[in-house]
Structure 1
Amino acid sequence: MQLASKNEKRKDGYTSSMAEFDLVMQTTKSGTHDSESCLKEETCLPLGGYSVWSALPPINVSLGNQSKPVILVTASMDSASFFRDKSLGAESPISGLIALLAAVDALSHLDGLDDSSRQLVFLVFTGEAWGYLGSRRFLLELDLQSDAVLGLNGTLIEMIVEIGSVGKSGGPGAKKYYAHTAGASSVTNKTLDGLKRAQDSLGSDQVKITSASSANPGIPPSSLMAFIKKNTEISGVVLEDFDTAFVNKFYHSHLDDSSNINSSAIATTASLVARTLYILASDEKNLSTTSLSTIKVNISLVEQLVGCLLSCDPGMSCELVHSYISATTACPSNYVGVILGEPSSTPYSGAVADISRFLWNFLADKTSVPMVNLNSTCSEGCSDRGGVCIRAETDQKGVCVISTTRYVPAYSTRLKYESGTWIVLSANASDPMDVLDPIWTESNWDAIGLRVYRVQDASYDRLVLLGGTAITVFAYLVILTARTIITKAMKQD
Structure 2
Amino acid sequence: MASKLLYQLLCLIALFHLCISAPLALNQLQSVPDLEKSMYTVIDGFPCVRLLNIDGEIGCGNPGRDKVVAPVVRFKNADQLLQKSTVLLSLDEVESFFLRLSNDSNLLRNIGGVLVGSGSNIESKLKGFSPAEKFPQAEFSPYQSTKHQWNPNGLDILRNAYNFPVFLLSENSTVTLLESATKNEARKNAYTKDFAEFNLVMQTTKSGTHDSESCLKEGTCLPLGGYSVLSAFPALNSSTKKQPKPIILAVASMDSSSLFRDKNFGADSSISGLIALLAAIDALSHVNGSQDFGKQLVFVFFTGESWGYLGSRRFLLELDQQSDDFEGLNSTLIDTVLEIGSVGKAFNNGVQSFFTHSTGVSAATNRTLDAFQLAEESLNDIKILKASATNPGIPPSSLMTFLRKNPQTSGIILEDFDSSFTNKYYHSHLDDHSNVDSSAIVAAASLVARTLYILASGETTPSLSTIKGISVNSSLVEELESCLLKCDPGLSCGLIKQYISTTGACPSHYVGVMAEEPSSSPDLVYVSDISRFLWNFLAEKTSMPSENVASECTSNCTKKGALCIKSEIKGKGVCVVSSTRYVPAYSTRLKYEAEVGWKVLPLNSSDPLMLNDPIWTESFWATIGLRVYTVQDATYDRLVLLAGLAVTLLTYVATVATKGFIIKALKRD
TM-score, normalised to structure 2's length?
Answer: 0.64
Counterpart of 2:41 in structure 1 is 18
Q: Distance in 1 between matches of 2:548 and 2:583?
A: 31
Distance 2:413 2:233 in 1: 21
1:53/1:424 CA distance change after superposition, 3 Å: same
Match of 1:34 among 177, 201, 211: 211
Does residue 282 (structure 1) correspond to residue 305 (structure 2)? The answer is no
Measure the CA separation in 2 of the matches of 1:193 and 1:452.
Answer: 59
Write out per-residue CA displacement over residues 337-356 of structure 1, whole angstroms, 9 at most, x where no aligned residue.
Answer: 00011000110110100000
Query: 1:28 deviation in Å?
Result: 3.0
Alpha-carbon distance in structure 2 between the residues aligned to 1:117 and 1:65: 12
- Which aligned pairs between 1:446-485 and structure 2 lie closer than 5 A? 446=622, 448=623
Which residue is equivalent to 2:412?
Answer: 237
Deviation at 1:243, TM superposition (A): 0.6
Q: Distance in 1 between matches of 2:418 and 2:485?
A: 26
Kept in 1, the 8 Å contact 2:555–2:567? The answer is: no
Distance change in 2, residues 1:373/1:454 (3 Å): closer
Q: 1:426 aligns with which of 594, 602, 605?
A: 602
d(CA) in 2 for partners of 1:65 and 1:43?
Answer: 51
- Is 1:316 aligned to 2:491, yes or no? yes
> Is 2:359 the counterpart of 1:200?
no
Is the contact between residue 554 and residue 567 of structure 2 (CA under 8 Å) also seen in structure 1?
Answer: no
1:325 paired with 2:476, answer no
Q: Matched residue of 2:422: which SS?
A: coil
Q: CA 1:289 to 1:80, structure 2 compared with 1: closer, same or farther past 3 Å?
A: same
Aligned partner letter, 1:152: L
Residue 66 (structure 1) shift: 5.3
Indicate whether 1:246 and 2:454 are aligned. Answer: no
* Cα distance in 1 for residues equivalent to 2:417 and 2:357: 10
Aligned to 2:117: none
CA distance in 2, matches of 1:220, 1:456: 52
The one of 64, 70, 74 aligned to 2:247:
70
Alpha-carbon distance, 1:440 to partner:
0.2
Match of 1:62, SS? coil
CA distance 1:160–1:35, change in 2 (3 Å): same
Question: By how many angstroms is 1:15 displaced?
Answer: 4.7
Task: Report the TM-score when normalising by structure 1.
Answer: 0.86
Whether 1:439 and 2:615 are equivalent positions in the alignment is: yes
Q: Show structure 1 runs of 4+ deviating over 6 A.
A: 449-457
Q: Aligned partners of 2:416, 2:625: CA distance in 1, in Å?
A: 45
Compared CA separation, residues 454 and 74, structure 1 to 2 (3 A): closer
Deviations 1:13-49 (A, max 9, x none): x956534774432013555121001101111100000
CA distance in 2, matches of 1:242, 1:194: 20
**Is structure 2 residue 151 aligned with structure 1 residue 151?**
no
How many angstroms apart in 1 are the aligned matches of 2:586 and 2:464?
43
Q: Judging changes above 3 Å, is the alpha-carbon distance between structure 1 residues 93 and 450 closer, same or farther for their aligned structure 2 residues? A: closer
- Contact 2:564–2:574 under 8 Å retained in 1: yes
- Identify the residue that residue 408 of structure 1 maps to in structure 2: 583
Q: Equivalent residue of 1:279, what SS?
A: helix
**Could you tell me how far apart the structure 2 residues matched to 1:452 and 1:226 are?**
44
SS of 2:204's equivalent in the other structure is coil
The residue that corresponds to 2:238 in the other structure is 61
The structural deviation recorded for 1:432 is 2.3
| Contact 2:247 2:334 (C-alpha < 8 Å) held by counterparts | yes
Which of the numbers 285, 292, 298 marks the counterpart of 1:108? 285
Partner Cα separation in structure 2 for residue 423 and residue 192 of structure 1: 44
Aligned partner of 1:387 among 562, 570, 577? 562
> Partners in 2 of 1:276 and 1:386 — Cα distance?
28
Aligned partner of 1:422: which letter?
A: W
Residue of 350, 358, 365 corresponding to 2:533: 358
Deviations 1:169-213 (A, max 9, x none): 1354211100000031111111001001100001x2x21101111
Q: Is the 8 A contact 1:128 1:135 kept in 2?
A: yes
Question: Secondary structure, in 3 states, of the residue corresponding to 2:249?
Answer: strand
In 2, distance between residues paired with 1:288 and 1:165?
29
Following superposition, the deviation at residue 430 of structure 1 comes to 1.3
In structure 2, stretches of 5+ residues that fail to align are 1-36, 43-196, 655-669
Alignment of 1:82-93 (within 5 A): 82-93=259-270
Trace 1:218-237 onto structure 2 (pairs within 5 A).
218-237=393-412
Cα separation, 2, equivalents of 1:34 and 1:386: 43
TM-superposed CA distance for 1:385, in Å, is: 2.7
| Inter-partner Cα distance in structure 2 for 1:380 and 1:27 | 38
Shift of 1:327: 0.6
Between the aligned residues of both structures, percent identity stands at 60
**SS, match of residue 431 in structure 2:** coil
RMSD of aligned residue pairs (Cα, Å) = 3.0
TM-fit CA distance, 1:429: 1.5
> Which of the numbers 216, 227, 237 marks the counterpart of 1:50?
227
Q: Where in structure 2 are the equivalents of 1:184-199 lying within 5 Å?
A: 184-199=361-376
Task: Say if 1:16 and 1:456, in contact at 8 Å, map to a contact too.
Answer: no
Number of aligned residues: 455
Structure 1: distance between partners of 2:508 and 2:259 = 13
Counterpart of 2:413 in 1: which secondary structure? strand
In structure 1, the residue corresponding to 2:232 is in which secondary structure?
strand
Q: Give me the whole-angstrom Cα distance separating, in 1, the residues matched to 2:227 and 2:292.
A: 31
Paired residues of 2:438 and 2:478 also in contact (CA < 8 A): yes
Q: Identify if the C-alpha distance between structure 1 residues 453 and 217 changes in structure 2 by more than 3 Å, giving closer, same or farther.
A: closer
What is the aligned partner in structure 2 of residue 417 from structure 1?
592
Q: Do the aligned partners of residues 57 and 449 (structure 1) sit closer, same or farther apart at CA in structure 2, a change above 3 Å counting?
A: closer
Aligned match for 1:211, one of 367, 383, 386: 386
CA distance in 2, matches of 1:454, 1:423: 44
SS state at 1:37 partner: helix
Q: Secondary structure at the match of 2:611?
A: helix
* SS of aligned partner of 1:209: strand
Deviations 1:275-331 (A, max 9, x none): 011111113554222111110000000000000001110000000000000010000
2: CA distance between counterparts of 1:413 and 1:65? 34
The one-letter code matched in structure 2 to 1:180 is H
Aligned with 1:295 (options 447, 470, 477): 470
Closer, same or farther in 2 for the Cα pair 1:413/1:381, shift >3 Å?
closer
Counterpart for residue 482 of structure 1: none
Specify the SS of the correspondent of 1:287: coil
Q: CA deviation at 1:357?
A: 0.5
Report the 3-state secondary structure (helix = DSSP H, G, I; strand = E; otherwise coil) of the residue aligned with 2:609: helix
Counterpart amino acid of 1:47? Answer: L
> What does the per-residue CA deviation read over 1:218-277, in whole Å, with 9 as the maximum and x for residues that have no partner?
000000000011111110000001111211110010000000000000000000000011
Contact 2:551 2:575 in 1 (8 A): yes
1:118 has 2:295 as partner: yes
When residues 329 and 64 of structure 1 are mapped into structure 2, their CA distance, relative to the original with a 3 A threshold, is farther
Conserved 8 A contact 1:80-1:89: yes
